[in-house]
Amino acid sequence: MSTLNSRIQAVQSPIIPVVGELIRNHPGTISLGQGVVYYNPPKEAIAQISQFLAEPENHKYKAVEGIPPLLDVIAEKLKVDNNIKINKKNCIVVSAGSNMAFINAILAITSPGDEIIIQTPYYFNHEMAITMSSCRPVLVATDENYQLRPDAIASAITNKTRAVVTISPNNPTGAVYSPEALRQVNQICRDRAIYHISDEAYEYFTYNNVKHFSPGSIYANTDYTISLYTLSEAYGFASWRIGYMVIPEHLLVSVKKVQDTILICPPVISQYAALGALQTGVAYCEEKISAIASVRQLLLEKLGGIQDICTVPPADGAFYFLLKIHANLHAMELVERLIREHGVAVIPGTTFGMDDGCYLRVAYGALQQETAAEGIERLVRGLKTILAA
């Protein structure tokens, strides 16, 4: 019998396929689980496929860091939308989604045994990637509203710390971190000569006039900032696997080594589609996000009627709420009962590192309003019934 790899054994199993199997075993279940959007890519993205096919050389490997036309469009997008200027101190690397960009960064900046600070609740794929890289995730709790605690982050830094990770707008909580807090964390990283990895996958998904801030726009700290982006959410590109990262120039050789080994180059057909999407611009996303905002408001109204059994911390971004359930019940048990007995699926908070109570992540971006409304009704009814028993 072969010996199992202990490093991989230490990595938690992805929760989405587990919940997906439960959903398949209970037909008719409405999923408020996986974090995807309800809409498809813009037609301009699909139109670019014919351009890809018109050039036979496109079926061969291309540059590790991405095709030049896409790099140019991304540079313009970063300047306009994020106030990040590409210059001699930084550069862009296109990746297979921002998860790929994250593992690129971790492998490029760490050695086995190093530490990476992540906030709890954390994004489970980040925690998994750090563990898989033979590094140690150091958990720093956010406050009661899931906001950053810069002083606690500073206190957690050791001589083994290589980076601090922030996600804003946040998965799984929907929290949007203030520019002041992000600036403070970014400066802590510069002062301690470590990296600030800023995951901005949900940059356009903000509500109530709350604005997204990109730490990469702090020019003086460019050498210590790694910014991650994706088209998966805003442009409905989940399966196309295209994202990108902005890194200090001094990391380019290391990142290219990682990406060339794992990926060789980002899928070229997807890069062409991404070119069409980004040329269409953020207006495409904004129209769709307004519909998601309506579902968000409906969810808030319904959850407001059960404040005696759950707390909904403020969440002005992404398309998530992380509910704190007022019950002495294991989160996965509650998830299973909601699926089996009430036909609605959510994600247990334990997969995000929330072990000190019962938490559920509710995602509201994947459904049209009518279906979402029915799913929300099932969730509220299910929580009332189960917790009343």
Question: Among 254, 265, 292, which residue's Cα sits nearest to residue 68?
Answer: 265
**Distance of alpha carbon 139 from alpha carbon 153, whole angstroms:** 9
**Distance of alpha carbon 201 from alpha carbon 203, whole angstroms:** 6
- Cβ distance 340 to 3 under 8 Å? no
Tell me how far the alpha carbon of residue 254 is from its chain's centroid.
23
- Cβ distance 224 to 248 under 8 Å? yes
Give the pLDDT score at 1: 45
Helix extents (H) in 88-123 = 97-109
Token pair for residue 54?
């018109």
Question: Among 350, 299, 353, 39, which residue's Cα sits nearest to residue 165?
Answer: 353
DSSP 269-315: HHHHHHHHHHHH-HHHHHHHHHHHHHHHHHHHHHHGGGTTTEE----
Domain parsing of the chain, residue ranges: 6-40+283-388, 43-280
Token pair for residue 5?
């790899």
Dihedral of CA atoms 245, 251, 257, 261 in degrees, nearest 10, equals -30
Vertex 73, ends 40 and 97: CA angle to 5°? 50
Angle at which helix 15-24 crosses helix 331-342, to 10 degrees, equals 20
**Distance of alpha carbon 200 from alpha carbon 318, whole angstroms:** 10
Q: Is 117 exposed, middle or buried (0-12, 13-18, 19+ CB in 10 A)?
A: buried
CA distances from 325 to 35, 154, 196, 359 (A): 21, 30, 32, 6
Tell me how far the alpha carbon of residue 214 is from its chain's centroid.
15
**Distance of alpha carbon 226 from alpha carbon 164, whole angstroms:** 10
Confirm or reject CATH 3.40.640.10 for domain 43-280, answering yes or no.
yes
Give the pLDDT score at 7: 80
Give the pLDDT score at 5: 67
Rama region for 97: left / alpha / beta (φ>0; ψ in -120 to 50; rest): left
Secondary structure letter of residue 152 according to DSSP: H
What is the H or E stretch that residue 127 is in? Answer: helix 124-132
**Distance of alpha carbon 90 from alpha carbon 110, whole angstroms:** 19
State in Å, rounded, how far the first CA of the chain is from the last one.
47
**Distance of alpha carbon 388 from alpha carbon 99, whole angstroms:** 40
Give the pLDDT score at 287: 87
Tens digit of pLDDT per residue, the chain (389 long)? 456 667 888 888 888 888 989 999 999 999 998 889 999 999 999 999 999 999 999 999 999 999 999 999 999 999 999 999 999 999 999 999 999 999 999 999 999 999 999 999 999 999 999 999 999 999 999 999 999 999 999 999 999 999 999 999 999 999 999 999 999 999 999 999 999 999 999 999 999 999 999 999 999 999 999 999 999 999 999 999 999 999 999 999 999 999 999 999 999 999 999 999 999 999 999 989 999 999 999 999 999 999 999 999 999 999 999 999 999 999 999 999 999 999 999 999 999 999 999 999 999 999 888 999 999 999 999 999 999 87
Token pair for residue 20?
């997906």
Largest CA distance in the chain: 64
Token pair for residue 2?
């072969």
Q: Who contacts 364 (Cβ-Cβ below 8 Å, separation ≥6)?
A: 32, 292, 295, 296, 299, 319, 320, 321, 372, 376
**Distance of alpha carbon 308 from alpha carbon 303, whole angstroms:** 10
Place domain 6-40+283-388 in its CATH homologous superfamily. Aspartate Aminotransferase, domain 1 (3.90.1150.10)
Give the pLDDT score at 8: 84
Task: Tell whether omega for the bond before 150 is within 30 degrees of 0, i.e. cis.
Answer: no
For residue 206, list its beta bridge partners.
Answer: 317
